[in-house]
Amino acid sequence: MQNNAIYVVATPIGNFGDISLRALETLKSVDVILCEDTRVTKNLLNHYGIKKPLMSYHQHSDARKVKEILALLDMGKNLALVTDAGTPGISDPGNMLVQSVVASMATSSKGEIASSPVGTHHNDSVIPIPGASAVITALSISGFPTDKFTFFGFPPHKNKRQKYFKEIAVCEHTAVFYESGHRILKCLAELKEVLQPERKMVVCRELTKKFETIYRGTIDEVIANMKNEKGEFVVIINS
């Protein structure tokens, strides 16, 4: 394991079995695990008998927390970054932390980088440990073209929602976005106002979990089959 590195570790999106051996080995080996919600991560670690110090890092973490994390790296510590579910940095503040680490690395290694050809700096302190991603999992069973797709993240809660759904409606290739259970029906109703009625879609609920549900059809057909359901959703719209 490389010294003073941050490992971006993908964790299961629901089923604990969907974690790689490499991810488990990394979590066992690092000094500190940075997590979105320490309670959620602790459940995963307990399942695999892993005991490590946890530090919270989430969308409300400020610059002081980032400095604290960078200081750990400067001390030679190895860190793992995880999210509650899936791959950190995908609709997740992990990308901002990675950006800070990369900027810090560039500053401290300026001389080494300047003397090396572009793209040949091999001592990168950000190391990916790939695994589950709800976007890719949903796309894989959609049956829609995936050579090109656009991921729109979560819809805005208030402002620019209409613009958001209009952009999805005119997207020329497969469109994908996330939504939470308490907003999914409202979201589909707003999308229906701008989407061509014949467009096919797939809505995936609680992927890999006990109550996983896949809805397929036009937006009218999907809405007719859905109830007031809880959970996390991935919505995919055919081109």
> Cα-flanking dihedrals φ and ψ of residue 88, to 5°?
-60, 145
Q: What is the pLDDT of residues 206-235, one digit of tens each?
A: 999 999 999 999 999 999 999 878 899 999
Q: How high is the pLDDT of residue 106? A: 72
Q: What is the CA radius of gyration of the chain?
A: 20
Per-domain boundaries in the chain: 6-132, 135-237
CATH number of 135-237: 3.30.950.10
Q: Is the CATH number of domain 6-132 3.40.1010.10?
A: yes
Contacts by 63-71, CB closer than 8 A, 24 or more apart: 66/97, 66/100, 69/6, 69/34, 69/97, 69/100, 69/101, 70/100, 70/101, 70/104
Residue ranges for the chain with pLDDT beneath 70: 108-123
The torsion defined by the Cα of 142, 133, 92 and 165, in degrees rounded to 10, comes to 0
**How high is the pLDDT of residue 112?**
52
pLDDT for 116 equals 39
Quick one: which of 152, 155, 11, 180 has its CA closest to 81? Answer: 11
Q: What is the pTM of this model?
A: 0.87
pLDDT at residue 58, as a whole number: 85
Q: What is the SS3 assignment for 55?
A: strand
Residue 182 to residue 187: CA distance in whole angstroms: 10
